Amino acid sequence: MKSIQILSGVVLIALGFTSCKDEKQEQAKKTIDSYVSYVDSVKNVAADDLKADWTAVEAEYDRRAENARMALADLKDNTAETEKINETKIKYEEFKNEMAATLSPPGSKQQLRNALFGEGKIGDDMDFIWVNAQNIHSVYQQFVHTVENNKDSYSREDWDEIKLMYEALDSRKNTVEKEGLSAEDNRKIAGLKIKFAPMYTVNRIGAKSEENKEAKK
């Protein structure tokens, strides 16, 4: 009888652990879903309405993004949730780039840098120390996708600045490769570089031709 009571106690404890574990995983999924929902809701607000509160929007985004990242550790299999977080991050960065046109003076060099790398990430010091083995793929991804989305609106001077930034990022990659850059990320970055090179060459020439036509007028 005593043995049965002990066994029952062990079973109850095990069930309690399982229940706690399940609750933790459910809470982790809710935290990640909250992060995704926040970005979707922000994207549905008119840009003019966001301007006054943009600092608060970014602070709240950073908080939810960090909570979502930490929640991954509570999931036994977090492959799907990791993909969801990555897709949401790209979606937010693209939206933030669109907002940059509203928040910054048009045509400024700093606006271009903000769009390519994120608000205030690159200043006059051209410091890329914040780029590391863990985030360099997403940095390249944002850079190339931003250029692709805006290639028809860049001037020749913009393309010269883009090339300068691209070469500086490449220089940082040479350092990061020695600091644990994964083979998979390296392969993905190589694909982005292949995509960027002809896009830069063709559109830089096109921008110069357009400027020459305008000058002749």
For residue range 31-57, what is the model confidence (pLDDT) as tens digits? 999 999 999 998 888 877 887 788 888
* Residue that finishes a domain, picked among 103, 132, 167: 103
Give the CA radius of gyration of the chain.
23
Give the Cα separation of 9 and 14 in Å (integer).
Answer: 9
Same domain, 137 and 157: yes
Task: Decide which of 71, 103, 135 is a domain's last residue.
Answer: 103
Angle between helices 183-216 and 156-176 (to 10 degrees): 160
| Higher pLDDT among residues 67 and 209, named by residue | 67
What integer pLDDT is reported at residue 146 of this predicted model? 95
Is residue 10 scored above 60 in pLDDT? no
Which ranges constitute the DSSP H helices of 118-182?
136-150, 156-176
pLDDT score for 78: 87
Do 114 and 186 share a domain, yes or no?
yes
Q: Name which residue leads in pLDDT, 9 or 27.
A: 27
Clarify whether residues 143 and 204 are in a common domain: yes
Q: How does pLDDT run across 72-120, given as a tens digit for each residue?
A: 888 888 888 999 999 999 999 888 888 876 765 544 788 899 999 998 8
6 falls within a domain: no
Alpha-carbon span 22 to 76, nearest angstrom: 10
In sequence order, which residues have a C-beta less than 8 Å from that of residue 211 and are 6 or more positions away? 155, 156
Q: What is the mean pLDDT of the chain?
A: 83
Q: Is the pLDDT of residue 25 over 90?
A: no
Q: 61 and 150: one domain?
A: no
Residues 22 and 112 in one domain: no
42, 76, 103 — which closes off a domain? 103
Distance CA 122, CA 94 (A): 17
pLDDT over threshold 60, residue 3: no
Same domain (yes/no): 76, 45: yes
160 in the same domain as 113: yes
Tell me if 45 is assigned to some domain.
Answer: yes
Which pLDDT does position 43 carry in this prediction? 87
Q: 115-154 pLDDT, tens per residue?
A: 999 988 898 888 999 999 999 999 999 999 999 999 998 9
Q: Which residue has the tokens 């970014």?
A: 58
Residue 212 pLDDT > 90: no
Instruction: Answer whether residue 20 is part of any domain.
Output: yes
Answer whether residue 173 shows pLDDT above 80: yes
Q: Same domain, yes or no, for 89 and 137?
A: no
Query: 190 and 119, same structural domain?
Result: yes
pLDDT at residue 85 in the model: 92
Q: How many CB atoms lie within 10 A of CB 171?
A: 11
The answer to whether residue 214 sits within a structural domain is: yes
4 within a domain of the structure (yes/no): no
Highest mean pLDDT pick, 100-104, 159-163, 203-207: 159-163
**Which domain does 138 fall in, by range?**
107-217
- Residues 217 and 129 occupy one common structural domain: yes
- Residue 18's pLDDT is 47
Domain count, the chain: 2
What is d(CA 196, CA 67) in angstroms, rounded to the nearest whole number? 33
What DSSP designation does 135 have? Answer: T
On whether both 66 and 159 belong to a single domain, the answer is no
**C-beta atoms surrounding 137 within 10 Å:** 19
Angle CA(179)–CA(182)–CA(185) in degrees, nearest 5?
A: 120
- Nearest in space to 195 (alpha carbons), one of 130, 133, 128, 146: 146
Does residue 5 lie within any of the structural domains? Answer: no
Same domain, 99 and 111: no
50 located within any domain = yes
pTM: 0.50
